């Protein structure tokens, strides 16, 4: 199927990997073809590795299943979740690109109020290549957007902004509600399109959802570990939340920005709220203690990279969170394993050899 003639030159096509965790089907890629086909995909096939999944024709991709993850990481594969969307972290590890866009396999192209199809990836790239304003809130939202600017009273000393590390997109149709909210509002759908991109202020946390998410892998990749979730773990569906809290305190410390808002996509699948409740209920309690922990984290000035911040965070997790549940000791150790795996697979600035990575043979 050829791309429509109207497709514009895909932005940063050699600097972006699209990471997709899947335990279902990749048919959703057919609808994204005009926007995604020029880009390279990294597909993380979760669940039974003997199942052959079909990747739609015409895409350039790497595909990794559980056998590949264990072959590549060896004993370090224990830090990659199994039977949870958190497995997508492995795609962040093996990518060699500057930017990552990650999307769930039940997310489709949305339309803006004018009826125009939204190129979510292009909007994320615009968000990432333009500065953020975490130190002073601009009431006209994104000042770098065409037709907007800083409002009166905005300090000129802060108008240069800071480099953006994360771009968090939103969803029309099925919103990302937790299980209790889904249970009491099973038919609620998000139909509100808010035409805005905002910087999340320094010192403020946010519930990062991985459905429609992009980030600068070189700046914040090491902090985007989705934790130990799913099979064999006491919690699930807090993978992206954990990564978001760790990444936000890291961005705040390093003076990097996090944006939320446009682009929208359309989320189609309402996962089963009863199953979700079983997976996430501990998180509903734990987060009441986790949020104050992250809000009070201070990192030493020697932490000048995401890796160093993350190792420091892993120590604080072991020191301060094990009282909540012994799980956090395991998670703290997994955070260190993750950084070891990251450093092993990614060239350090001094050119230390990189672990070679071979995906499964294309199906
Ligand atoms: O065992 C699994 C379960 C799922 N996946 C893949 O992960 C994403 C998200 O799965 P799903 O759409 O079922 O989850 P939602 O409840 O709709 O989404 C929220 O849960 C978060 C936790 O992952 C998710 O990011 C949120 O948006 C799909 O691509 C599944 O195929 C998996 O790989 N293994
Ligand atoms: Mn979903």
Pocket residue to mutate for ligand 1, from 63, 104, 175, 267, most atoms within 8 A of Cβ: 104
pLDDT at 357 over 60: yes
| Token pair for 121 | 């990836």
- Name every residue whose Cβ is closer than 8 Å to that of residue 347 and which is 6 or more positions away in sequence: 353, 354
pLDDT of residue 168: 99
pLDDT at 147 over 70: yes
> Binning pLDDT at 50, 70 and 90, where does residue 4 land?
low
Cβ–ligand 1 contact at 87 (below 6 Å): yes
Task: Give me the mean pLDDT over the 166-172 stretch.
Answer: 98
Q: What is the pLDDT of residues 200-227, one digit of tens each?
A: 999 999 999 999 999 999 999 999 999 9
Q: What is the pLDDT of residues 13-63, one digit of tens each?
A: 999 999 999 999 999 999 999 999 999 999 999 999 999 999 999 999 999
Cβ–ligand 1 contact at 244 (below 6 Å): no
Cβ–ligand 1 contact at 239 (below 6 Å): yes
Over the Cα atoms of the chain, what is R_g? 20
Q: What is the mean pLDDT of the chain?
A: 94
Q: What is the DSSP string of 299-336?
A: --TT--SHHHHHHHHHHHHHHHTTTT-THHHHHHHHHH
Report the C-alpha gap between 49 and 308 in whole angstroms: 34
Cβ–ligand 1 contact at 269 (below 6 Å): yes
> Which of 165-169, 268-272, 320-324 comes out lowest in average pLDDT?
268-272
- Name every residue whose Cβ is closer than 8 Å to that of residue 361 and which is 6 or more positions away in sequence: none
- Using CA atoms, how far residue 28 sits from 62, 105, 191, 257, 327, in Å, is 17, 6, 21, 31, 35
- Name every residue whose Cβ is closer than 8 Å to that of residue 255 and which is 6 or more positions away in sequence: 162
ipTM here: 0.97
CATH of region 16-345: 3.90.550
- Using CA atoms, how far residue 25 sits from 44, 46, 322, in Å, is 12, 11, 38
| Ligand 1 atom 23, closest CA | 85
My answer on whether omega of the bond before 280 falls inside 30° of 0, hence cis, is: no
Answer for the pair 165, 290: CB distance below 8 angstroms, yes or no. no
86 C-alpha vs ligand 1 centroid, how far in Å? 8
pLDDT at 96 over 60: yes
Answer for the pair 39, 11: CB distance below 8 angstroms, yes or no. no
Domain ranges of the chain: 16-345
pTM over 0.90: yes
Cβ–ligand 1 contact at 237 (below 6 Å): yes
> Binning pLDDT at 50, 70 and 90, where does residue 10 land?
confident
| Ligand 1 atom 10, closest CA | 85
pLDDT of residue 353: 41
Q: What is the pLDDT of residues 105-119, one digit of tens each?
A: 999 999 999 999 999
Q: What is the DSSP string of 112-143?
A: -TTSPBP-HHHHHHHHHHS-B-TTS--TTS-T
């Amino acid at each position: 199927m050829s791309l429509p003639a109207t497709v514009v030159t895909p932005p940063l096509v050699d600097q972006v990997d699209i990471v997709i965790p899947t335990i279902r089907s990749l048919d959703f890629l057919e609808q994204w073809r005009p926007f995604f086909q020029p880009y390279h995909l990294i597909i993380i096939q979760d669940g039974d590795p003997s199942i052959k999944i079909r990747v739609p024709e015409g895409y350039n991709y790497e595909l990794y299943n559980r056998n590949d993850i264990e072959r590549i990481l060896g004993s370090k594969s224990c830090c990659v979740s199994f039977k949870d969307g958190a497995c997508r972290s492995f795609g962040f590890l093996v990518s060699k690109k500057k930017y990552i866009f990650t999307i769930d396999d039940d997310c489709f192209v949305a339309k803006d109020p004018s009826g125009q199809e939204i190129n979510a990836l292009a909007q994320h790239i615009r968000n990432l290549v333009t500065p953020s304003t975490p130190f002073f809130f601009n009431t006209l939202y994104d000042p770098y957007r065409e037709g907007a600017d800083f409002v009166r009273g905005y300090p000129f000393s802060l108008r240069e902004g800071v480099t953006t590390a994360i771009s968090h997109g939103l969803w029309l149709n099925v919103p990302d509600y937790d299980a209790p909210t889904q249970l009491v509002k099973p038919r609620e759908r998000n139909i509100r399109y808010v035409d805005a991109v905002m910087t999340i202020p320094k010192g403020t946390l946010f519930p990062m959802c991985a459905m429609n998410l992009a980030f600068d892998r070189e700046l914040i990749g090491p902090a985007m570990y989705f934790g130990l979730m799913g099979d064999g773990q006491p919690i699930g569906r807090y993978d992206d939340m954990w990564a978001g809290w760790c990444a936000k305190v890291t961005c705040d410390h390093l003076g990097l920005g996090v944006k939320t808002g446009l682009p929208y996509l359309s989320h189609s699948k309402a996962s089963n709220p009863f199953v979700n409740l079983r997976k996430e209920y501990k998180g509903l309690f734990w987060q009441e203690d986790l949020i104050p922990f992250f809000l009070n984290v201070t990192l030493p000035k020697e932490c000048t990279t995401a890796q160093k911040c993350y190792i420091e965070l892993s120590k604080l997790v072991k020191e301060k969170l094990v009282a909540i549940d012994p799980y956090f000791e395991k998670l703290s150790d997994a955070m260190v394993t993750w950084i070891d795996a990251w450093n092993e697979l990614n060239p350090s600035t001094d050119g230390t050899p990189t672990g070679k990575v071979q995906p499964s043979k294309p199906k």
